[in-house]
Amino acid sequence: MAVYSYKGLNQQGKEVNATVSSETEAIAKQKIRALGIMLIELKEKKAQTQSKSSFNFFSKKVPINQLSLMTRQFATLVKARIQVVEALSALASQIDHEYLRVVLSDVKTKVNEGSSLAKAMAQHPIVFNNIYCNMVEAGEASGTLDVVLVRLSEFSESQVKLGNKVKSAMTYPIIMATVGTLLISLIFLKVIPQIAKIFVSSKKKLPFLTEVVLGISDFMVHYWWFVFLAVGGLIILTKRYVNSPSGERRYHKLILALPVIGTLSRMVNVSRFCSTLGTLLAAGVPILAAMNIVKNLISNVWIRDAIEKSRDAISEGLSMTGPLIECGLFPSLVTHMIKLGESSGELENMLNIISNNYQEQVETQIGSLTSIIEPIMIIFMALIVGVIVFSVIMPMMELNKLK
């Protein structure tokens, strides 16, 4: 089922721009006329195939919750013994997200022309990543596509859940930081310049702290544009340094050394490693290929290096836990359970147990981080406001004594 975009006039004479899903262009025209719209223009929407290297800021993304919902529905249809082409056609007709609907239509066309589902999906890496395509390929090869799709939907849903937890936990601190920055900027730009006029007219020597605050205020009033440029330039230079090989390693090492954030980062990466590897292995993906995929999903370069060494150890016939223990970033309980899983042949189950345990710990840690950030921000902003008020009150009191 293809997706067509059209332009027309409704019965009130207003222009209408919308899309319609249909098997053919003729049927699409019939559907549009049935809505009482006089058709002006009709064209089929095509999904552009993109490589990851061609990804840019303007690339269309599909929210992970939409992808998770689509995967769950796809699994239900395949489990009900509905042909893949018919299932894709049904999904394309009912998905709300327009770009995902177009992508599914394109995948359905390629499958109908004889391509495998995994290869058709691989043409859209911005929507279907390596994990998705590899698992679908394993499901097609083993005849367990419905089981694989269920696992994929569960994996996507767990990512959505974790992402929502992080967003909800960080919403209040971000709002607080934004409001605090705006209020302090307002004090420096509007309030202090008015008070400065009183001090200038008194012609009395001011305390050092007061002179510093007045100097900052005067600089912000006259050179506010430079502040924006300096902050923007600092952000760009920091990003460039962090994206460089040496800068990335130092930055990630610093993150791991931080008290609460380092623990949380380690937990998130370990949980992602275990859940993704367990899901891939359960779907029938070979362990070496699975380790390659997992390595590219880990955000911390030091943990990524340990996984790469672990993969090399597996290829040499050794245990995967050796490099994980040597790096010192994987908890001993995790490496012990992985070693037990290797020796007992229950590696997938062990990884899933670890993943579930660490997901709960991550959620608890996020709550702890929020409870720590809030008082720190309150104290920090209170100190700034206290310094400003103190620097203004001291000379004002002295002026009152002179009077």
Pick the CATH number of 52-128 from 3.30.1330.60, 1.20.81.30, 1.10.150.130, 1.10.1740.10: 1.20.81.30
Average pLDDT over the chain reads 81
Predicted confidence at residue 3, as pLDDT, reads: 67
Whether the pLDDT of residue 56 is over 70: the answer is no
Instruction: Catalogue the E-assigned strands of 71-211.
Output: none
Predicted confidence at residue 50, as pLDDT, reads: 47
Q: Is the dihedral of CA 134, 136, 142, 144 positive or negative?
A: positive
**Range list of H helices, 298-346:** 301-315, 321-327, 332-344
CB 300 within 8 A of CB 256: yes
Predicted confidence at residue 283, as pLDDT, reads: 75
Q: Which long-range contacts (CB under 8 A, 24 or more apart) does 295-299 make?
A: 296/130, 297/131, 297/272, 298/269, 298/272, 298/273, 299/265, 299/268, 299/269
CB 335 within 8 A of CB 346: no
Could you report the per-residue pLDDT of 73-124, keeping only the tens digit for each?
A: 998 898 888 888 888 888 888 887 888 888 888 898 888 888 889 899 988 8
Predicted confidence at residue 147, as pLDDT, reads: 80
Query: What does each C-alpha distance from 128 to 58, 70, 134, 184, 288 come to in angstroms?
Result: 17, 12, 10, 45, 21
**Global confidence as pTM:** 0.65
Q: Which range has the top average pLDDT, 164-173, 333-342, 386-395?
A: 333-342
E strand or H helix at 56: none
Could you report the per-residue pLDDT of 293-308, keeping only the tens digit for each?
A: 888 778 889 998 999 9
Predicted confidence at residue 49, as pLDDT, reads: 47
Could you report the per-residue pLDDT of 241-295, keeping only the tens digit for each?
A: 988 888 889 999 998 888 878 888 888 888 888 888 888 888 778 888 888 888 8
Whether the pLDDT of residue 55 is over 60: the answer is no
Whether the pLDDT of residue 154 is over 60: the answer is yes
**Amino acid found at 391:** S
Whether the pLDDT of residue 13 is over 90: the answer is no
Could you report the per-residue pLDDT of 361-381, keeping only the tens digit for each?
A: 887 877 777 777 778 888 888
Distance CA 129, CA 117 (A): 14
Higher pLDDT, residue 24 or 375: 375
Predicted confidence at residue 130, as pLDDT, reads: 79
Predicted confidence at residue 45, as pLDDT, reads: 63
Query: What does each C-alpha distance from 246 to 181, 262, 298, 328 come to in angstroms?
Result: 32, 19, 18, 20
Kindly list the domain boundaries of the chain, sorted by start residue.
Answer: 2-44, 52-128, 144-403
Q: 32-42: buried (b, 16+ CB within 10 Å) or exposed (e) per residue? A: beeeebeeeee
Distance CA 122, CA 293 (A): 14
Question: pLDDT grade, residue 309 (50/70/90)?
Answer: very high
Whether the pLDDT of residue 51 is over 50: the answer is no
Distance CA 327, CA 332 (A): 11
Q: Which of 292, 328, 336 is nearest to 312 (CA)?
A: 292
Whether the pLDDT of residue 313 is over 60: the answer is yes
Whether the pLDDT of residue 344 is over 50: the answer is yes
Question: pLDDT grade, residue 236 (50/70/90)?
Answer: very high
CB 64 within 8 A of CB 129: no
Higher pLDDT, residue 170 or 80: 80
Could you report the per-residue pLDDT of 271-281, keeping only the tens digit for each?
A: 888 888 888 88
Could you report the per-residue pLDDT of 176-233, keeping only the tens digit for each?
A: 888 888 888 888 888 888 888 877 777 777 788 888 888 888 888 888 888 889 989 9
What DSSP designation does 14 have? -
